[in-house]
Amino acid sequence: MPEHNIDPVLKAADRCVPGGSPALKIGLAAFLLAGILTLVDATLAAALLAGFLLLCLAAPFFPRFSFYAPVVYRGCSGRNAVAITFDDGPDPLTTPVLLNLLKRRGVTATFFVIGENVRNHPELAESIVRHGHLIGNHSFRHSTRIFFKSVPAVIEDIEATQVVLRQCGIRPLVYRPPVGIVSPRLGSALLKTGMTLVNFSRRPLDGGNRRLRNLSGRVLRRIHGDDIVLLHDRRPPDENMIPLWLKEVEAILDGLEKKGLAVMPLSDLIGRPVMMRC
């Protein structure tokens, strides 16, 4: 059953959510100005349109840029606190040990899960919620090809993940696209599915747990209150690297404490619900 109806809970205060995406307005302004410039200098008009085209091509690769869709990439709590998020799970080797670590440290995180992984391991999604954590939608197969598909295809991908999570009694209200890329069609798809796009403001460029050396240092460098931290619970290429990964996650938690930064649930940091039980 489609998730097109927006729940009343989504009408809560949206202080962290930008008012809209400027792509259409900027495009209309660029073409209008180019039309005027054509009367004066056709070369300058062409350069203006070329610049707009370059902006359109580059915009998807800036996860904080609300060009094609409103993007929440940091909190609005005003507190010395951050939210920690884990992408690309759940995984039977990494997610359970991570849950144990977070439980021991008393930390609430948000897991942006891949629908296909949940379909294969529904017990892990249930365990995440049972441990008190939140779950967001991170696409069904984490395929970058979705960026080139139609709005209905993007909606289908989002709802496929919603379906498998609903079978676990979970309804995410937030979505994070694969690699954080905000494609031109994503805004319309999210509007029709009633989802909020949540990306991140701090990422260690770990390549999905392929670059674990000094992971904690890259995260903690220049971290500030209201940052949304991107990590992964994807299995490293070498399973023997899992202990190193856990050590780096714990070092991040230690470093946050030393900096006087608490870890808040993502919903508290951004001032709106992240998921519901159904």
The residues carrying an active-site annotation are 87, 232
CA dist 12 and 272 (Å) reads 6
Query: Contact at 8 Å (CB) between 69 and 190?
Result: yes
> If you write DSSP's letter for every residue of 201-247 in order, what string do you get?
SB----TTTT--TTHHHHHHTT--TTBEEEEE-SPPSSGGGHHHHHH
- Please give the structure tokens belonging to residue 74: 């940091």
For residue 262, the surrounding DSSP H or E stretch is strand 262-263
DSSP E strand boundaries for 91-164: 110-113, 134-137
Q: Which residues contact 102 (CB under 8 A, 6 or more apart)?
A: 108, 109, 131, 133
Cα of 153 vs its chain's centroid, Å: 19
3-state secondary structure of 86: strand
